[in-house]
A and B are shown apart, each in its own frame.
Chain A
């Protein structure tokens, strides 16, 4: 939470994820060994992924989606709120936005803005239910958001049948595809790659910057972090914690609404049964990995996406089930949580020692000198 540049602190911060990745590497290798799968070939295949332009595009695109999800979770985390419901929030948001977007016909930038606004508003309201339940009835947001996920699934299934059209060439159903004015073109960011990067990546970068500014530079952000650090101290300092809970849930939900946007606006153009699900849970893992830090989350999202993408060729090239990647992701998250806690404790102890040391070696204060001469 401190602002100054301090190389020792940065090194310590990087130590935890580095340890976690090494640990995950070892565990995964042991699993491969136990299953009798080729260890060296597997790692070679996974590493090769990073040198293929097409794969890089895929990684960046998934990471963009993960980034929003993790950011939404992180807003809650910074206040000790566990928004497990990002999943239901974004799906309900993107479904409604896809449907509304297919009904209207307005000029391009406005059309996209309306879609994004609808998604954010619906997701925010859905998350807000959990916030209101918490402050008025004391319902744990963990329980209510999980339940709201189920309700969202049911509602989407129900309403999709009402508004859906068959997706051509399959037995899938989805909302009417968005007209051209509601689509966002991609960017050719990766040289030699046949795939374009979602245009929405720009919004991801802006969201990261906005998150950082909001939390670190504003009064609201200070109140939010103070509540996360110590609710009792926040109350004594004049923070209206109930209000903060509702606002944070709304904010977290609004960001969750962005999760489905890159895919909807840049690739799928409609909400169908095949629309990516479960991204909210990935967000929880990535927020943990990135320590709720906007840059940390970006790195975490890229790493996660990398592992996801590298799972595909494993089956084909070396005959190893792609689930090995899921195991690795799981081990990374578990060990990173442990490592962060160890580093955190070490840092507090280290700082106390450093303060004690610097104080004893410092020259006496005027008062001490006075006492000594008295």
Chain B
């Protein structure tokens, strides 16, 4: 009894904070997505499906599919590059490992605003990159490489890469080197060893890393705005515009709910795939 009381006192503040600042705001979002918009304020009282009805058109569906596709692409590239990178890092000597980890964490310390800005600088007409392409004969004359879809894609991959490494690191670091040795001794080629030893052991971590990258991309607002053209804008940008420029909070909330459902479907699909592969 006393232990229970102690636990209750201990958890009072965390419960208050998490229920008050996560659970209630979350339910409020769903509620407001069902409120009628108010052109003079934020929303008005009552229940209406107007916000959702406003989303029943082709352009919204196209934007949602585009955002999902982009998220899957970015996350797939992130995992495909991050996996070998993490594997190599875990096989390095300790000093090098720490150096790489601090370096990766340092890129994380830059706000996506600052990273988008530095990409804009890097891809501008005056600075190295375009001139490098000219020197290599890949470009006729130096020109600005933004705004473009390529810049958005590259920037998003840049943003997710540290996250993929950090989520894969624990699993790959604990992968005993003896396992690979044993596979080699038993005559497995590196490819077979990868498929039969490494993949089953790291599949879960790879799925988590894929999901984190995909969700991060779904929520990314700054990169498409700064580096892309309006047709490269993702759902995140459209949601931001609905709330800030359109002053239609119920619409932005309804769009957020749709984006959340898309994220949930992606999560469900990924974990289903990861499990199905496991049963074979």
A and B co-occur in one complex: no
B: residues with CB less than 8 A from A are none
